[in-house]
A and B are shown apart, each in its own frame.
Chain A
């Protein structure tokens, strides 16, 4: 296969045209989003391509950390924008994404699974932050909704002398599963239902399938780790927002 250039990208716009045509035919009002999204994806990705090229060439440690920090900040901003309105969601999302990403990347680097080179660390950090962001949003939304709609159950538990952690345990478990469900489903079906992106990319780039598979296994374990850590941090910080130090539920404080 030829490495795609701008001409091939232009040709692939035919697929966008098909999608827009279909939505026009079915009168689904998403043409504006589709057109804008396609242009935005093009601009963002091309810009990122050039930025990555620059970073890869420089191999500066500071620049790698800066790139990861920007990813986490943008991820936290997006997660807090989509999450239900709990006070201080950005801080919660940032802490959840940062902790999950930092621990996962540190383990990969310390065990020498990957080397500290921009071409490994940055793409992996991108995958890590994106998955962490989704898990964080789902977790915050689910626990917020469960706590606000189960006031009687929670206050009954509190009135029976349980602390806030015990009083919300069932809801925390449900929210944790909600946050981790995509990675759990991914682990179950990987290689059977779909060939994941990283592996597909490596195979398309000419890597041996077995090597691509081994790399994909590392990616799967990495995602499992980051999503679990981020989910737990997001849960802990979100639930705490709803309780005073005297174990009183404060829905008005959300």
Chain B
């Protein structure tokens, strides 16, 4: 497959949710092609539909209209469980299953060898001494690393990260950002990361998509979208966020 070919194509994707006042559109007619081995920052103010968009790409929710094509295959023609193993999802608050770090890695893939486990631990910068510790005793930063390692255990081609550093302090945040960048290089992964912080997007680099009120209003490199937005909505967002 061509390295720059779209691994994930989103076509006219939309999702309505029922509310007391009738259906509300939270993702509105988004089309975009994600290429292999790149980092994409999904930006936008609160309630812009960033996480909802990510959930549609993991097929955790069903779109009202539109479609997603992964490696040339339409989502609704792929078995959901197999698809999710190829398009991993990291939630904002990591949930670890009761047990040890090792148990959590084996939950994602029960045929991991000891060598695989050691490689994942090293790649995710998990201290080797905690591998058989109960996950209850881990710090939030360690939990996020374990959740990331568990995700990588499935050998995904795309990883979706929903504000993975929102619960972390600045030191842990930068460490996780560096970790994600290293993993992308090592594994040639496509990363689609939600962030409400333009400065974080600038640190991560790559491409950016700006969502406002469920619509995709701006795309380009992070520098272009954050520093030189082409649209009025984009400029308003920049002025508000980079004050």
A and B: bona fide binding partners: yes
Task: List residues of A whose CB falls within 8 A of some B CB.
Answer: 152-153, 155-163, 244, 246-249, 252
- Beyond A152-B95, A252-B18, whether A159 also contacts B60 by CB under 8 A is yes
Q: A159-B60, A160-B85, A161-B85 are in contact. Are A247 and B91 (CB under 8 A)?
A: no
B174 at the interface (CB under 8 A from A): no
Could you mark each residue 11-49 of chain B with 1 if its beta carbon is under 8 Å from any beta carbon of chain A, else 0? 000000110000000000000000000000000000000
Does B84 contact A161, Cβ atoms closer than 8 Å? yes
Sample (7) of A-B pairs whose CB atoms are under 8 Å apart: A156-B97, A159-B58, A160-B84, A160-B108, A161-B82, A161-B84, A249-B60
- Contact flags B85-96 to A (C-beta < 8 A → 1, else 0): 100110101010
A153 touches B97 (CB 8 A): yes
Residues of B within 8 A of A162 (CB): 81
A248 to B150, CA, bound (A): 21
Give the CA-CA distance A152 to B91 in the complex, in Å: 8
Q: Kindly list chain A residues whose C-beta atoms are within 8 Å of the C-beta of B76.
A: 246
Q: How far is the CA of A249 from the CA of B62 in the complex (A)?
A: 10
Contact of B88 among A159, A163, A246, A248 (CB under 8 A): A159
Additional 15 contacts, C-beta under 8 A, given A156-B91, A247-B81: A155-B60, A155-B91, A156-B97, A158-B60, A158-B84, A159-B58, A159-B84, A159-B88, A160-B85, A161-B85, A248-B59, A248-B60, A248-B80, A249-B60, A252-B18
Interface string of B59-70 (1 = CB under 8 A from A): 111100000000
Interface core residue of A155, A159, A163 (most chain B CB under 10 Å): A159
Chain B residues proximal to chain A, CB less than 8 Å? 17-18, 58-62, 76, 80-82, 84-85, 88-89, 91, 93, 95, 97, 107-108, 150-151, 154
Contact of A152 among B85, B93, B108, B150 (CB under 8 A): B93
Complex interface: chain B residues within 8 A of A247 (CB) = 80-81
With A158-B60, A246-B62, A248-B62 known to touch, is A163 a contact of B91 (CB < 8 Å)?
no
Residues of A within 8 A of B82 (CB): 161
A153: nearest chain-B partner, CB-CB: B95
List chain A residues, Cβ under 8 A from B17.
252
Residues of A near B107 (CB, < 8 A) are 157, 160
- Whether the Cβ atoms of B62 and A244 lie closer than 8 Å is yes
Contacts of A249 in B (CB 8 A): 60
How far, in Å, is B140 (CB) from chain A's closest CB? 14
How close is B65's CB to chain A, nearest CB, in angstroms? 16
| A162 CA / B88 CA spacing, docked (Å) | 12
Q: Is the CB of A160 within 8 A of B154?
A: yes
- Minimum Cβ distance to chain B for residue A239 (Å): 16
Cα A247 to Cα B127 with chains together (Å): 34
Complex: chain A residue closest to B83, CB-CB: A161
Residues of B within 8 Å of A157, CB to CB, are: 97, 107
Which residue of chain A has the shortest Cβ distance to B153 in the bound complex? A160
Which residue of A has the minimal Cβ distance to B81?
Answer: A161
Contact A248 B61 (CB under 8 A): yes
**Alpha-carbon distance between A148 and B49 when the two chains are bound, in angstroms:** 23
Contacts of B61 in A (CB 8 A): 248
**Nearest chain B residue, comparing its CB with the CB of A166:** B81
Contact partners of B150 in chain A: CB under 8 A = 160
Q: How far is the CB of B166 from chain A (nearest CB, A)?
A: 14
A252 to B24, CA, bound (A): 14
Which of A155, A158, A246 has most B Cβ within 10 Å?
A246
The residue from A155, A156, A163, A252 contacting B81, defined by CB atoms under 8 A apart? A163
Q: Which residues of B contact A163 (CB under 8 A)?
A: 81
Contacts of A248 in B (CB 8 A): 59-62, 80
User: A159 vs B62: C-alpha distance in the bound complex, in angstroms?
Assistant: 14
Distance A246 CA – B17 CA, assembled complex (angstroms): 18
Minimal beta-carbon separation of B75 from chain A (angstroms): 9
